[in-house]
Amino acid sequence: MKEGKEAWRCILADLARNWFLTGAEGSAQPAGDDAAVLAKSLGPLAEEAVQIVEAYAIGARALGNTAAGELPPGFEARLAIILNGLVPQAAEQSAELVATDDAPPVFQSELWQLLTKVRESAELSYAREIALVELDRRILLLLGNVGPLVPAELSSGAGVDKAQVSRSVKRLLEIKMVERTQIRSPVSLTRKGKALADRLSRLAELRNRELTVDIPDAELAEFRRVVETLLERAVALYEQERVLASDEPRGPSRFPVVPQDEPGKPIMLDRTRIISPLMTLSAYFSRSAALIFKRRTGLSNFETWVLNEIGRDQPIEWNTLVERLDRDHSQAGRTINSLIERVLVDRQGRPGRRHGRFTLTEEGERMYEIILDASRQRSAYLMAPLSGEERARFLAIFEKVHRNAAVQLERERAFEEMGHR
């Protein structure tokens, strides 16, 4: 049996080499002492860690271009990147959680609630400046603070996929806010775009100062440091899910973004604002959630969301459900009908999707438990680098930001009502 703090790395590395050299997918699974070491070191991520390493090794073998019995150049380096994302839980932390029965919080739901309030108040506030959708504003602010970026860098910086960035850039090109010489050239602000980005930046700074009321500088500095740590974990989790979702091995994350012409020099994203990195954190966490829920339940991200909202407050009325989902009635209705047809959701009451109350069936309850278990594991992974004391301080500061966001939203709603009288 391998021993020591890094024994789990040696076990997974040996498995990866064996799978690559033999091509025997699913063979030589860890058992006995090795399985016990992985379970102790990686906790609930042990099984997925084995799957990630196996997918990488088999995918690398499928690429070929290597003499029989030899590992390809870069195999070990890429394997190290994957293993670096599998930071084991410290034995002391595990013991602390067991002793206090303090389960890791499902942080993504709390983050989503905060950002929902921020987005709604932002829509009301920014609408008085110019009618742009949220992602368009974020890209303008990113370009204003960082400078010209290629689409891949915009995708990494904003935490959204390239297709969404492409559509946003197209909209901004049409209204002459940005420009570029070719389709893959860096996107830069026009004079008109820079003027608007400057105005939006000043408004963003004001809104962010409001969100940090009653938070001392020392607490704010610690909060930002922890968010950076969580962001690194969220990106690593997304990369791991990409490996499991594809047979092809993946390279390291492009976050922080590194320009092609300046290797080793990271682009400094907007770190002076409190919400921008939280939005990126939420985006990466949501993208990995879509992959893991699809793999474990076969449901899309929105189907998972609907099932979760019904499960945590059943029976739930139609109007309440749609309000929580923040989607139009048509999309919610189609998804509900699909879940009913798959015998995951049951409806009681008058006929018609917009009437009655919704509950989960027996199979829906089983799916709901899978979703809850995955959410708890993901939150535990996200929070693993933090001690119990660090986590408590972070969540206390987060609660202050959340409270300030609620106050900010109520003020913007009041302004909106006054403007329509």
User: For the segment 339-374, what is each residue's pLDDT rounded down to a tens digit?
Assistant: 998 999 998 876 555 567 889 999 999 988 888 888
Quick one: 334 and 230 in the same domain? no
Neighbours of 415 (CB within 10 A): 14
CATH assignment of the domain containing 194: 1.10.10.10
Helix H or strand E segment including 319:
helix 318-325
Percent of the chain scored above 70 by pLDDT?
A: 77
| Pairwise pLDDT comparison (352 vs 238), residue with the higher score | 238
Quick one: 259 and 324 in the same domain? no
pLDDT at position 279 is: 81
Non-local (6+) Cβ contacts of 200 within 8 A are: 126, 129, 137, 140, 141, 144
Q: Is residue 51 over pLDDT 90?
A: no
Would you place residue 35 in the very low, low, confident or very high pLDDT band (cuts 50, 70, 90)?
A: confident
Q: Does any domain span residue 238?
A: yes
pLDDT at position 105 is: 47
Q: Mark 265-298 as b/e (b = at least 16 C-beta within 10 Å).
A: eebebbeebbbbbbbbbbbbbbbbbbbbbbeebe
Neighbours of 386 (CB within 10 A): 19
Which structure tokens are listed for 147? 């400078």
pLDDT at position 178 is: 92
Q: Does any domain span residue 102?
A: no
Could you tell me the strand order of the sheet in which 345-348 lies? 316-317, 357-360, 345-348
Percent of the chain scored above 90 by pLDDT?
A: 8
Q: Is residue 389 over pLDDT 80?
A: yes
Question: Distance between CA atoms of 270 and 108, rounded to whole angstroms?
Answer: 22
pLDDT at position 190 is: 94
To 5 degrees, how large is the angle CA 30–CA 31–CA 36?
95
The 10s digit of each residue's pLDDT in 125-159 is 877 767 788 788 888 888 988 889 888 888 877 76
What total of structural domains would you count in the chain? 3
For the ranges 231-235, 309-313, 389-393, the maximum mean pLDDT occurs at 389-393
Quick one: 269 and 339 in the same domain? no
- Among 40, 56, 88, residue at a domain's last position: 88
Quick one: 369 and 307 in the same domain? yes
Region of 264 (left: φ > 0; alpha: ψ -120 to 50; beta: rest) is: left
Non-local (6+) Cβ contacts of 382 within 8 A are: 107, 108, 230, 233, 234, 237, 285
Q: Is residue 200 over pLDDT 50?
A: yes
Q: Does any domain span residue 136?
A: yes
pLDDT at position 306 is: 87
Quick one: 38 and 13 in the same domain? yes
- 43 close to 380: Cβ distance less than 8 angstroms: yes
pLDDT at position 98 is: 33
Q: Which residue range forms the structural domain that includes residue 55?
A: 7-88
Average confidence (pLDDT) over 366-386: 84
In 219-321, DSSP assigns E strands to: 316-317
Q: Does any domain span residue 343?
A: yes
pLDDT at position 100 is: 35
Q: Does any domain span residue 309?
A: yes
Choose the weakest-confidence range: 21-35, 183-197, 335-349, 401-415.
21-35
Q: Does any domain span residue 96?
A: no
Question: What is the DSSP code (8-state) at residue 149?
Answer: B
Question: Distance between CA atoms of 243 and 55, rounded to whole angstroms?
Answer: 7
The amino acid present at 296, given as its one-letter code, is R
The 10s digit of each residue's pLDDT in 303-315 is 888 888 888 777 8
| Pairwise pLDDT comparison (188 vs 204), residue with the higher score | 188
Q: Does any domain span residue 415?
A: yes
- Among 35, 60, 88, residue at a domain's last position: 88
The 10s digit of each residue's pLDDT in 261-296 is 333 434 333 434 678 788 888 888 888 888 888 888
- 344 close to 323: Cβ distance less than 8 angstroms: no
Quick one: 325 and 402 in the same domain? no
Q: Is residue 169 over pLDDT 50?
A: yes
Quick one: 335 and 280 in the same domain? no
Q: Does any domain span residue 93?
A: no
- 275 close to 208: Cβ distance less than 8 angstroms: yes
Q: Is residue 249 over pLDDT 50?
A: no
pLDDT at position 43 is: 65
Quick one: 376 and 281 in the same domain? no
Q: What is the mean pLDDT of the chain?
A: 76
Average confidence (pLDDT) over 315-322: 82
Quick one: 43 and 119 in the same domain? no
Would you place residue 102 in the very low, low, confident or very high pLDDT band (cuts 50, 70, 90)?
A: very low
Quick one: 277 and 414 in the same domain? yes
Quick one: 66 and 194 in the same domain? no
Quick one: 211 and 343 in the same domain? no
Q: Dihedral of the CA atoms 253, 259, 264, 268 (nearest 10)?
A: -80
